[in-house]
Amino acid sequence: MGFKMGIVGLPNVGKSTLFNALTRTAAAQAANFPFCTIEPNVGEVSVPDVRLDKLAAIGKSINVLPARMSFVDIAGLVKGASQGEGLGNQFLANIRECDAIAYVLRCFEDNNIIHVSNKVDPLADAEVVETELMLADLESLEKRRNGVEKKAKQNDKDAKLTLELIDRALVLLRDGKSARFVKRDAEEEKAFQELQLLTSKPALYVCNVDEGSAENGNAMSKLVEDYAHQHDAGVVIISAEIESQLAQLPDAEQAEYLESLGLHEAGLNRLIREAYALLGLQTYFTVGPKETRAWTIHKGDKAPAAAGVIHSDFERGFIRAQTIAYDDFVALGGEVPAKEAGKARDEGKEYVVKDGDVMLFKFNT
């Protein structure tokens, strides 16, 4: 199960520097020049989880495999992208393939780094990006509406639902609001997602601040936090420059470097966790002598769907799942003592998996 978060932003806001740090590579050429990222760069990252090592120690596992998610560094966006300006067409095509969007916003002053608008204003930058996405959504829906309306007039039930959702979205978009705010119920969600609206994707505003503001932010990041709350988006504060330096250090030296800056953890860890949460994801574990592994599922997934993440055969032939809560597994010292204490449960097809569950699936082949 792969999940992608697209990293977007105006040129020279630090998004490629951030991507390089995330993937610990120089794959995205970080240069002080617009459009230095032309082809999307995709990097997989591990989701930080302190629980893994504890479980692996108890299970005496040879290998430890964390959950993974992908970040996509997408070419710098400029005003007019929805009409093909800059690298607009490529930008829009690439971002449609992502599950969520991280907007990197420049929240620092530096005369040596040019700004595409010649002025550092993160809220204006956010509005440029959001506006281009809204314009693209408007164009997409307006082109699609006539065909859907014809089918709806022929009493096509699905077309009627789609038309209703299109009209709800158009009202909001024409009023300058994102499609995230379209009201829909669970039955309408699938049809809504099929519209593939850019502004319906979960959004995370990433405030790229100066080194001295990495812990608590600054005046500019505070404005972005307020803006994010108004726009139903997540927000995280990070210094791409610090993360870039940190990524070049051996693991043993990273804690010392962070401590010298008065920081408790890498900003990237917060970013990855926030992205994971924004996508509505959670983790369950499998533990054994060969490996301890974190598996990614959606919140609300039932046991068969969780089993299917390992292999589709597990879902098709699902019988039951032996389940031990993480806290019980750790406190009691593993599977056998958890069983002896009555903390191992056999759960059926309707069981909603909880974050941290340690699971063992029984299935028919």
Give the three-class secondary structure for 335.
helix
Note the pLDDT tens digit of each residue in 103-122. Answer: 999 998 877 666 666 688 99
Poorest-pLDDT segment among 118-132, 221-235, 288-302: 118-132
- H or E stretch at 192: helix 186-193
pLDDT at 27: 42
Q: What is the mean pLDDT of residues 161-169?
A: 97
Q: What is the mean pLDDT of residues 241-264?
A: 89
- The label of the residue with tokens 């082109």 reads 143
pLDDT at 21: 85
Q: What is the mean pLDDT of residues 15-24?
A: 82
Radius of gyration of the chain (CA): 23
Task: With a cut of 60, say whether residue 223 has pLDDT above it.
Answer: yes
Kindly report the CATH number that applies to the domain delimited by 300-363: 3.10.20.30
**In terms of Cα–Cα distance, which of 116, 105, 104 is closest to 74?**
104
4-278 belongs to CATH 3.30.930.10: no
Cβ–Cβ under 8 Å, residues 30 and 52: no
- Amino acid letter for position 137: D
Burial classification of residue 173, based on how many CB atoms lie within 10 Å of its CB (0-12 exposed, 13-18 middle, 19 or more buried): buried
pLDDT at 36: 41
- Amino acid letter for position 191: A
Whether pTM > 0.85 for this model: the answer is no
Rounded-to-5 percentages of helix, strand, coil across the chain: 45, 20, 35
Give the three-class secondary structure for 104.
strand
Note the pLDDT tens digit of each residue in 321-354. Answer: 999 999 999 999 999 999 999 999 999 999 999 9
**Encoded tokens for 222:** 């505070």
Domain ranges of the chain: 4-278, 300-363
Note the pLDDT tens digit of each residue in 168-210. Answer: 999 999 999 999 999 999 889 999 999 999 999 999 999 999 9
At residue 29 the predicted structure's pLDDT band, cuts being 50, 70 and 90, is very low
Q: State the helix-helix crossing angle for 251-260 and 240-247, rounded to 10 degrees.
A: 150
Burial classification of residue 197, based on how many CB atoms lie within 10 Å of its CB (0-12 exposed, 13-18 middle, 19 or more buried): buried
The reply to whether 4-278 and 300-363 are identical in fold is no
pLDDT at 83: 58
